[in-house]
Structure 1
Amino acid sequence: MDFDLPDSALAVREGITAVTAKYGYDYWDRCDAEHRWPEEVWRDLGAGGWLGLAVPEEYGGGGQGLLELAVALETLSRSGAGAAASFIYLLTPGFGALTLSRHGSEEQKKRFLPALARGELETCFALTEPDAGSNAINITTHARRDGDGWLVKGQKIWISGVERADHMMLVTRTVPAAEAKPRASGFTVFLVDVKRAVAEGTLTFQPIPKLGTNTVASSMVFLDDVRVTQEDVVGQVDAGFAVLWDILNPERILAAASGVGGSEAALRVAVDYAKDRAPFGKPIGTNQSLAFPLAKIKAQTELARLMTYKAAWLWDRGEPCGSEANIAKLTASEAAWQAADRAFQVHGGMAYSLEYPVARMFRDARIGKNIPVAEELVLAHIAQHDLGLPKSY
């Protein structure tokens, strides 16, 4: 067994560290406070080729895999971005480039991948609905045949980045759930031209006020006969569940990478403060009541990192990784939350001051326990598929 990262991943870590050196905690605090996308970081990552890591070389990318993408996200998150970093690598390199690299047609790859790799084209992903989230089989957004294409009607919720996206990876039903045999059939994934649909008035969206991760908006999306064609199909008609799983597992793995980096970032803030703060003549970090919880979180973070890398490695090899992806997400999100919570406690009353990044990290880290899948459903999956217990939902 070899636990050393390949040279490609080490080069990614070094490169992302160099890019983020000029963007500290204050930068990410400002972006969050101003509710604005980190344009400067996005531009630098695109110029350096760091957004196209998982795009095949023949389409202008780095020819790397999900492992390198996870290392990039972890490094960006650790630099001070925290959970905000997840959107940079999920929305376009993950949902867009990674999916099209594996499931796109040759025409789609030639048309979209070079621009996605440069950061000149942006994507988002639309699955969740008001009455269907993790129970994706029950989505009701449907595409009905109309001539040589389809008209899509429905509603999505918590769709992040739609206000910036050029195209949306949209999950629809082309066969109603009641008629699908088996129930996981009848899905079709379309790559929707968002700006065209908005201009035509068939796609509208409404941002949802959020507690945190305000560098990108999350919106309600309304689809009213959005026109799509055969050229917009990703994968195969009525067989989109295979595409969906190749979106959801990488989503969990990248979310885990963000949690690992976010935990490291919060730990660094807590440790630095514990070393400097000395109200009784010695640093508060000398107290075991503060030091031991931080040490435990460091151990949890290292374990989460190992599982995240393993899950990404398995996905790159085309091997089953559902359990590993779920365990990585579960452990990394818990580490990130515990680190942010402990950093808050270490700072005492000063944690409430926006002079420190603790409040932002505290707000952002909490959502990781709920998305992209709630930890209760992760535990249910582990209980059923890894322990052999009866299905509980």
Structure 2
Amino acid sequence: MDFDLPESAVAVRDGVAAIGARHGLDYWDRCDADKRWPEEVWRALAGGGWLGLAVPEEYGGGGQGLLELAVAAETLAASGAGAAASFLYLLTPAFGALTIARHGTEEQKRALLPALAAGESETCFAITEPDAGSNAINIATQARRDGDDFLVTGQKIWISGVERARHMVLVARTIPAAEARPRVSGFTILLVDLEEAVAAGTLTYRPIPKLGTNTVASNMVFLDDVRVPATNVIGRVDEGFAVLWDILNPERIVAAAGAVGSGELCLKVARDYANDRAPFGRPIGANQAVAFPLARVKAEVELARLMTYKAAWLWDRQRPCGSEANIAKLTAAEAAWQAADRMFQAHGGMAYSLEYPVARLFRDARIGKNIPVAEELVLAHIAQHELGLPKSY
């Protein structure tokens, strides 16, 4: 059993850390306050080849895997981005490039992967609906056949990055839920050309005001007979559920990696303040009431990192990793939240000052317990699949 990171992952960590060092806490605070995509970081990551890590070399990528993507997301988060780092590695490198590299046709790979690897084209992912959040079985967005095309009608919610993306990886039903046997059949994954759909007026969207992660907009999306060529199906018609899980597990793993990095960042901010603040003649970090909670969170972050790497390692080897991905997401989100909470507490009244990054990191850390899947559903999955308890929902 070897716990050393492979050389490829070490190179990713060092390369992304160098970019992060040039764009620290102040930079990310400004992007969040201005509700602005971190364009400078995006371009630097693209220029260094750190976005196309999981794209095969023959399509212009690094030929690496999900482990390297996870390390990149973790490193960027720890450098100052916090939870915002997850979006840079989820929206295009994971949802787009990873999915197409694993499940796309040869034509799709050649047409799309080089631009995705270079950061010249971007993607987003659309699964959640107003009446079908965590229960994907109830998705109502329909794709009906029209000659050589599909016409897609429905509504999606909490779709991040639509305003920047060229393509949307969309989950639709080609067999209505009431008619699907088994219930997980009848899903099809479609690649929607957003530029064409918006120009045609068949796809519209509007941003949702949010508490945090303001470096990327999240949107309501409305589809009214959006035309999608059948050649834009990813995987097989009616058999998209297998592809869907191969999207959702990496989503959980990359989100977990971002949470691990966010936890490390919160601990660093808390540690620096605890070493500098000395209202009674010695640093407050010398008090066990401050030091012990931070030390406990450090242990939790380290454990979450191990499970995140294990889940990514399994996925890269095409081995089952559903439970590991869920456990990684659960533990990393909790560790990040506890780190943010203890960072907040260590700062005392100054935690409320926007002169410090505490407020942004605190707000952003909380959402990890709810997305990309609520922790209650993760616990239900673990109870059923790992403990053999009856299904609870």
Same fold per TM (> 0.5)? yes
Aligned twin of 1:294: 294
Aligned twin of 1:362: 362
Query: What is the identity, as a one-letter code, of the residue corresponding to 2:112?
Result: F
Aligned twin of 1:176: 176
Separation of aligned partners in 1, 2:53 and 2:362: 30
Deviation at 1:327, TM superposition (A): 0.3
2:210 is the alignment partner of 1:210: yes
Q: 1:310-389 counterparts in 2 under 5 A?
A: 310-389=310-389
SS of the aligned residue for 2:11 comes to helix
Deviation at 1:195, TM superposition (A): 1.3
Query: What is the identity, as a one-letter code, of the residue corresponding to 2:145?
Result: R
Query: What is the identity, as a one-letter code, of the residue corresponding to 1:231?
Result: T
Q: 1:72-151 counterparts in 2 under 5 A?
A: 72-151=72-151
SS of the aligned residue for 1:87 comes to helix
Deviation at 1:270, TM superposition (A): 0.1
Aligned twin of 1:31: 31
Which segments of structure 1 move beyond 4 Å, counting only runs of 4 or more? none
Query: What is the identity, as a one-letter code, of the residue corresponding to 2:392?
Result: S
1:370-389 Cα deviation digits (max 9, x unpaired): 00000000000000000000
SS of the aligned residue for 1:368 comes to helix
Deviation at 1:133, TM superposition (A): 1.4
Query: What is the identity, as a one-letter code, of the residue corresponding to 1:256?
Result: A
Percent identity among equivalent residues? 79
Deviation at 1:46, TM superposition (A): 0.3
SS of the aligned residue for 1:299 comes to helix
Aligned twin of 1:257: 257
How many residues align? The count is 393
Aligned twin of 1:45: 45
Deviation at 1:145, TM superposition (A): 1.2
Aligned twin of 2:268: 268
1:107-145 Cα deviation digits (max 9, x unpaired): 000000000000000000000000101110110000111
SS of the aligned residue for 1:198 comes to helix
SS of the aligned residue for 2:188 comes to strand
Cα RMSD after superposing both structures:
0.5
SS of the aligned residue for 1:156 comes to strand
Separation of aligned partners in 2, 1:9 and 1:390: 39
Deviation at 1:149, TM superposition (A): 1.1
Aligned twin of 1:195: 195
Aligned twin of 1:16: 16
Query: What is the identity, as a one-letter code, of the residue corresponding to 1:105?
Result: T
SS of the aligned residue for 1:131 comes to coil
Q: 1:59-70 counterparts in 2 under 5 A?
A: 59-70=59-70
Deviation at 1:196, TM superposition (A): 1.0
Deviation at 1:18, TM superposition (A): 1.0
Separation of aligned partners in 2, 1:10 and 1:146: 49
SS of the aligned residue for 1:175 comes to coil
Separation of aligned partners in 2, 1:147 and 1:392: 42
Separation of aligned partners in 1, 2:354 and 2:113: 40
Separation of aligned partners in 2, 1:144 and 1:99: 23
Deviation at 1:178, TM superposition (A): 1.1
Query: What is the identity, as a one-letter code, of the residue corresponding to 2:334?
Result: E
Aligned twin of 1:235: 235
1:126-170 Cα deviation digits (max 9, x unpaired): 000001011101100001111221110000000000011100000
1:174-197 Cα deviation digits (max 9, x unpaired): 001111111111000000001110
Deviation at 1:286, TM superposition (A): 0.5
SS of the aligned residue for 2:22 comes to coil
Query: What is the identity, as a one-letter code, of the residue corresponding to 2:13?
Result: R
Deviation at 1:230, TM superposition (A): 1.2
SS of the aligned residue for 2:9 comes to helix
1:11-39 Cα deviation digits (max 9, x unpaired): 11011111111101000000000000000
Aligned twin of 1:303: 303
1:328-386 Cα deviation digits (max 9, x unpaired): 00000000000011101100111111100000000000000000000000000000000
SS of the aligned residue for 2:320 comes to coil
Separation of aligned partners in 2, 1:153 and 1:177: 15
Separation of aligned partners in 2, 1:44 and 1:359: 27
Unaligned 5+ segments in structure 2 are: none
